Amino acid sequence: MIQKNNKTGLARALSKMGHCSRSRAVELIRAGKVRLNEVVRRDPETPVRLGRDRIDVDGQRVGTAKKIYLVLNKPRGIVTTAADEKNRETVYKFLGAHLPWVAPVGRLDKASEGLLLLTNDSEWGARIAAPETHLDKTYHVQIGRVADAGLLEALKKGVLAKEGDLLRVKSASLLRKGERNSWVEIVLDEGKNRQIRRIFEGMGVKVLRLIRVAIGPLLLGDLAKGVVRDLSVKEKMALDREMLSKH
């Protein structure tokens, strides 16, 4: 007997199988391009028994894609969406045409740079990005003033953003300073939208550069800008262990 919790919606099933994003799956389904067990289905929530039901897209059977885990050093000026309504360059310009669909894990805004994971393992990516996972993300931030002890303490105590929510960092330390600006290392264990930029905005401090240098135990290292590499088995295991340790 098939248990109800073994079923998932058709759009989500296509995403879980690594075929495309859930939003793209919804488009394909509504356009009548998806068959479930030889029958065209136009409802993205149509129940699917993963591993038992047959799904075809444009007449081609969909199989569970090999899981792919990639690391990219995202340059500044690039957006992380699959397609951009303003025709800006996206992270997909750095990926080979031979790769199956992958999605960014979390976001780095256009002006931010550094470590970005991409995968077709949608459930794993969601766990990495989820605020409740409390996986540390480390950033090096250049700001338009010299950071002193008061500023670092204020970052940890929290700043009330103009939207009304309290934003704080897990830790903040001075990396180096010049006469008029400085570099600060900031660690977050939650991921609110544009959190670091909004914190500094609330303090009246200009962010000059923002680079993500680590996600949990995974380091950006010396990976060149715009270069993509595979996440190693050892690195993925370390990330998985870190996530487990947070629960």
- Read off the pLDDT of residues 35-61 as tens digits, 9 standing for 90 and up: 999 999 999 999 999 878 999 998 888
pTM of the shown model: 0.81
- Listed as ranges, residues in the chain with pLDDT below 50 are 1-4
- Read off the pLDDT of residues 202-211 as tens digits, 9 standing for 90 and up: 889 999 999 9
The neighbouring-strand residues paired with 48 are: 8
Q: Annotated catalytic, 148? A: no
Tell me what the pLDDT averaged over the chain comes to: 89
Enumerate the CATH 3.30.2350.10 domain ranges in the chain, comma separated: 136-215
pLDDT value at residue 2: 36
Q: Which one of 3.30.2350.10, 1.10.1040.10, 3.30.300.130, 3.40.630.30 gives the CATH number of domain 136-215?
A: 3.30.2350.10
pLDDT value at residue 22: 84
Taking the C-alpha atoms of residue 112 and residue 210, their distance in angstroms, rounded to an integer, is 5
Nearest Cα to Cα of residue 50 among 100, 120, 2, 102: 2
pLDDT value at residue 247: 61
pLDDT value at residue 84: 66
Q: State how far the alpha carbon of 22 is from the alpha carbons of 108, 158, 190, in Å.
A: 20, 35, 24
pLDDT value at residue 160: 80
The neighbouring-strand residues paired with 115 are: 73
Q: What are phi and psi of 103, to 5 degrees?
A: -125, 150
Longest Cα pair distance anywhere in the chain, in angstroms?
71
Looking at domain 4-61, its CATH superfamily turns out to be RNA-binding S4 domain (3.10.290.10)
Active-site pick, 43, 58, 109, 230: 109
Fold designation for 69-132+218-245: Alpha-Beta Plaits (3.30.70)
SS3 at position 246: coil
Enumerate the CATH 3.10.290.10 domain ranges in the chain, comma separated: 4-61
Nearest Cα to Cα of residue 77 among 113, 118, 115, 105: 113
- Judge contact between 137 and 187, C-beta under 8 A: yes
Taking the C-alpha atoms of residue 114 and residue 218, their distance in angstroms, rounded to an integer, is 12
Taking the C-alpha atoms of residue 12 and residue 27, their distance in angstroms, rounded to an integer, is 12
Strand pairing report for 39-40 and 218-219: unpaired
Q: Could you tell me which residues come within 8 angstroms of residue 48 by beta carbon, excluding any fewer than 6 positions away?
A: 7, 8, 9, 10, 13, 36, 55
